[in-house]
């Protein structure tokens, strides 16, 4: 079985930090990130009702204030079992207890402050014996405390908003394949159990929204340079026999711009960014490290709603990309995605996305990468989600495969979410990794069953 593109990306980045790393690994971890996007509404809100509104202007939901004065939280206990893994990553592979705390406060002037943090402890490492695992894995996966969102936002004028602090900014509409969604890295250390929306890592940004009729202009200054977290050395999803060097750190400011408009039955967005390449490449000088040179990205996304159908497309062009086997040369790459979502069946969503990544000035030396890079890389993603029992039970299925003929590896995941009672929810499922490429052949034995129960307060 395989875990979505996230897995490919994770493994790839861990090993080679090639360009496709992030894409292959999207959807692998169970880190929960709260995404709160506040945007103005337009006349077509009702037209798009029933579809995800990640990049579309949507009404800001009224927040519920808890008895703790704006503090809410969630306690989760999760267990995973690998029925085909290799030692020590076999049998019970995780017994994780986690706590998510979320604080929100609204000021009288309409501004809002929001922050959330997560702490977890995975007892499996102590139960099975920490001497069985590498130091890298213990340091990365046994326990962690991290601040996620931490920002203040509000309206300066009727047509000018600001949002300053750690946050997630989503570009594009695909729930599975990243094409224009380039501003936030991912937590891909434990592939297999969730979608991209729960993997994005917030980054400190200064974001401004200026509204002109049906259009929104959004300049962004990225104040913090973070990169995707990949599986640590000797962990179940790290396939190389040697440890990867550390990422080079950067403290500069990078920039992005989004211009989008929503109209009756359709919306369009244009993107531009000058950012550090998240995948990076290995450089032995001056000291061995993974470098993340700056690249330019220009893209667009178009969505059209027709009855029960939503048609979506994304296009992105990158220049300045560098790879491990051709460090002294830069490359251009064009990524394209088309997809559709169907909601004509009651309480059911069906979607299919397919993408193509084309390296424009291809060099045969790219086949020498740890995970060989082809001139054209195809990815397919098909999912079904359906609600039952008055939406208290949701059944989901996702399969993501690489290759023009769907024969270059991937993963499939089936899971069910059930609401036991007020604030108490369960989630259980299975992940199957599918071989077919160097990357996925290395992790295809990590098939797992997972289950968790959570209490929200």
- Read off the pLDDT of residues 51-65 as tens digits, 9 standing for 90 and up: 544 444 433 444 444
CA-based R_g, the chain, Å: 21
Residue range 194-233, pLDDT digits in tens: 888 899 999 999 999 999 999 999 999 999 999 999 999 9
Q: Which of 182, 94, 107, 74 is nearest to 140 (CA)?
A: 94
Taking the C-alpha atoms of residue 280 and residue 230, their distance in angstroms, rounded to an integer, is 12
Residue 439 C-beta-side C-alpha neighbours within 13 Å = 36
Do 352 and 339 form a contact (C-beta atoms < 8 A)?
yes
Taking the C-alpha atoms of residue 132 and residue 149, their distance in angstroms, rounded to an integer, is 34
Q: Which of 234, 96, 250, 244 is nearest to 185 (CA)?
A: 250
Taking the C-alpha atoms of residue 20 and residue 344, their distance in angstroms, rounded to an integer, is 34
The more confidently predicted of residues 239 and 90 is 90
pLDDT of residue 323 exceeding 60? yes
Residue 116 C-beta-side C-alpha neighbours within 13 Å = 22
Helices (H), 157-249: none
Take residue 451 and report the two structure tokens written for it. Answer: 């289950």
**Over residues 368-391, mean pLDDT:** 92
Q: Which residues make Cβ contacts (< 8 Å) with residue 138, sequence separation at least 6?
A: 125, 130
Do 196 and 175 form a contact (C-beta atoms < 8 A)?
yes
Q: Residue 448's pLDDT is what?
A: 95
The pTM of this model reads 0.84
Residue range 152-183, pLDDT digits in tens: 999 999 999 999 999 999 999 998 999 999 99
**What's the mean pLDDT when you consider all of the chain?**
87
Specify the DSSP element, H or E, that contains 384.
Answer: strand 376-388
Domain limits for position 346: 4-456
**Over residues 75-94, mean pLDDT:** 94
Cα angle 170-176-179, degrees, rounded to a multiple of 5: 55
Taking the C-alpha atoms of residue 304 and residue 310, their distance in angstroms, rounded to an integer, is 6
CA distance readout (Å), 145 to 31, 115, 116, 319: 12, 14, 11, 36
* Structure confidence at residue 66 as a pLDDT band (50, 70, 90): low
Cα angle 196-198-203, degrees, rounded to a multiple of 5: 90
pLDDT of residue 43 exceeding 70? no
Taking the C-alpha atoms of residue 457 and residue 450, their distance in angstroms, rounded to an integer, is 23
Taking the C-alpha atoms of residue 298 and residue 354, their distance in angstroms, rounded to an integer, is 20
Taking the C-alpha atoms of residue 236 and residue 416, their distance in angstroms, rounded to an integer, is 24
Take residue 374 and report the two structure tokens written for it. Answer: 């082809």
Q: Which of 280, 230, 196, 190 is nearest to 10 (CA)?
A: 230
Residue 232: CATH number of its domain: 2.40.160.10
Q: Which of 302, 331, 329, 330 is nearest to 315 (CA)?
A: 302
Domain count, the chain: 1
Percent of the chain with pLDDT over 90: 75
* Structure confidence at residue 125 as a pLDDT band (50, 70, 90): very high
CB atoms within 10 A of CB 424: 12
């Amino acid at each position: 079985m395989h875990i979505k593109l996230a897995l490919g990306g994770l493994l790839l980045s861990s090993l080679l930090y090639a360009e496709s790393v992030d894409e292959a690994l999207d959807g692998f971890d169970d880190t929960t990130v709260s995404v709160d996007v506040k945007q103005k509404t337009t006349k077509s809100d009702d037209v798009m009702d029933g579809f995800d509104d990640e990049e579309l202007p949507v009404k800001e939901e009224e927040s519920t204030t808890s008895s703790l004065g704006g503090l809410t939280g969630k306690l989760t206990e999760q267990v995973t079992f690998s029925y085909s893994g290799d030692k020590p990553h076999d049998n019970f592979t995780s017994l994780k207890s986690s706590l998510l705390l979320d604080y929100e406060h609204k000021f009288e002037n309409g501004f809002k402050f929001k922050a959330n943090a997560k702490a977890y402890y995975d007892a499996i490492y102590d139960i099975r014996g920490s001497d069985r695992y590498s130091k890298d894995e213990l340091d990365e996966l046994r326990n962690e405390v991290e601040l996620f969102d931490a920002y203040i936002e509000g309206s300066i004028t009727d047509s000018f908003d600001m949002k300053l602090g750690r946050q997630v900014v989503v570009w594009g509409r695909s729930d599975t394949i990243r094409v224009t969604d380039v501003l936030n890295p991912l937590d891909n250390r434990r592939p297999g159990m969730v979608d991209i929306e729960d993997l994005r890592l917030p980054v400190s940004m200064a974001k401004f929204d200026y509204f002109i009729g049906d259009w929104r202009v959004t300049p962004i200054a990225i104040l913090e340079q973070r990169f995707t977290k990949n599986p640590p050395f000797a962990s179940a999803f790290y396939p190389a026999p040697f440890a990867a060097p550390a990422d080079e750190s950067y403290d500069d400011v990078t920039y992005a711009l989004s211009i989008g408009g929503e109209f009756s039955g359709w919306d369009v967005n244009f993107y531009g960014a000058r950012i550090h390449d998240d995948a990076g490449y290995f450089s032995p000088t001056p000291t061995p490290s993974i470098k993340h040179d700056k690249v330019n990205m220009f893209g667009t996304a178009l969505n059209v709603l027709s009855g029960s159908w939503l048609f979506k497309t994304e296009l992105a062009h990158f220049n300045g990309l560098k790879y491990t086997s051709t460090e002294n040369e830069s490359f251009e790459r064009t990524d394209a995605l088309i997809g559709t979502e169907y909601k004509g069946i009651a309480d059911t969503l069906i979607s299919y996305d397919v993408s193509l990544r084309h390296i424009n000035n291809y060099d045969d030396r790219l086949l020498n990468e740890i995970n060989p890079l082809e001139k054209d890389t195809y990815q397919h993603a098909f999912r079904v989600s359906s609600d039952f029992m008055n939406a208290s039970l949701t059944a989901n299925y996702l399969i993501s495969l690489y290759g023009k003929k769907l024969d270059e590896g991937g993963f499939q995941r089936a899971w069910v979410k059930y609401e036991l009672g007020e604030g108490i929810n369960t989630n259980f499922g299975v992940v199957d990794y599918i071989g077919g490429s160097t990357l996925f052949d290395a992790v295809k034995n990590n098939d797992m069953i997972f289950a968790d129960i959570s209490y929200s307060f």
